[in-house]
Amino acid sequence: MIKASTGHTVMLACDHGYFMGPTSHLEEPRKTIAPLVPFADALAVTRGVLRNCVDPKWEVPIILRVSGGTSILQEDLSDEGITTSMEDAVRLNVSAVALSIFVGTAHEKQTLLSLSKLVDEGEECGIPVIAITAVGKELEKRDARYLGLCCRVAAEIGCHIVKTYYCEGFSKVVQGCPVPVVVAGGPKLKTERDAFELAFNALNEGAIGVDMGRNIWQNSNPVGMIRAIRAIVHEKATIREAEMIYSEKDKSNLISA
């Protein structure tokens, strides 16, 4: 999952269907994922997609989404529980498991206890746990004070990596979290440059990598996008260099907007 030579990672998030259903450009997971796998250090999916849409020949570590229980139809997305057992994670030979925590919501306690349970089970079989600091539909919560609290609580419970959002003052979030931090791409940004700036700034402020989905596979040139993000993460490319890599478009990689 983490490239040994750089200590950084480009995770490809493709688990959105567990609460969003057939998301735009992820209606056929295998078709979307296949051209991107060679450029990803890890692939985040659910067990349904892993069993039915991921080619066993693909040499990519799997991060298994194991939490859920609500859909986008609900106003409150925080009422999640564990949906996949650690035994199944072992059978599926995954490299890590991931679940969302909802700090500050009505379901804070149950998601934090789910994290604790997952860490206990993961320790028994050697599978690391990634905690995702989810905010549901309340995107305004993404500030340094709130995210710093979420990340620290997750680390104290025992997760091995935290996935969180980039924000103003992000370096303080990283400084207060004793485990590695990966930045989420979040909803698709307005421009490619916005995504490049997010990755570049997050790495410079202490993140070990990114976990991007929609900003890659919803782009009209997804391969160019992941190649550019990979250059920022592993080769310390500048934003301008990333733009140049992205602009090297191969028509075979383009998709309809």
Catalytic residue annotation: 163
Rg (CA), the chain: 17
Read off the tokens for 146: 């709130």
Angle between the N-to-C axes of helices 239-247 and 192-204, in degrees from 0 to 180, rounded to the nearest 10:
140
**Residue 83 carries which DSSP code?**
-
Closest-CA residue to 34 (of 58, 15, 52): 58
Q: Which runs of E-coded beta strand occur in the chain? A: 9-13, 42-45, 62-65, 67-68, 81-82, 96-101, 129-133, 161-164, 181-184, 209-212
CA–CA–CA angle 98, 52, 254 (5° rounding)? 85
**DSSP string covering 77-126, please?**
----EE-S-HHHHHHTT-SEEEEEE-TTSTTHHHHHHHHHHHHHHHHHHT
Backbone angles phi and psi of 176, in degrees to 5: -90, 5
User: SS3 for 230?
Assistant: helix
**Using CA atoms, how far apart are residues 249 and 223, in angstroms rounded to an integer?**
9
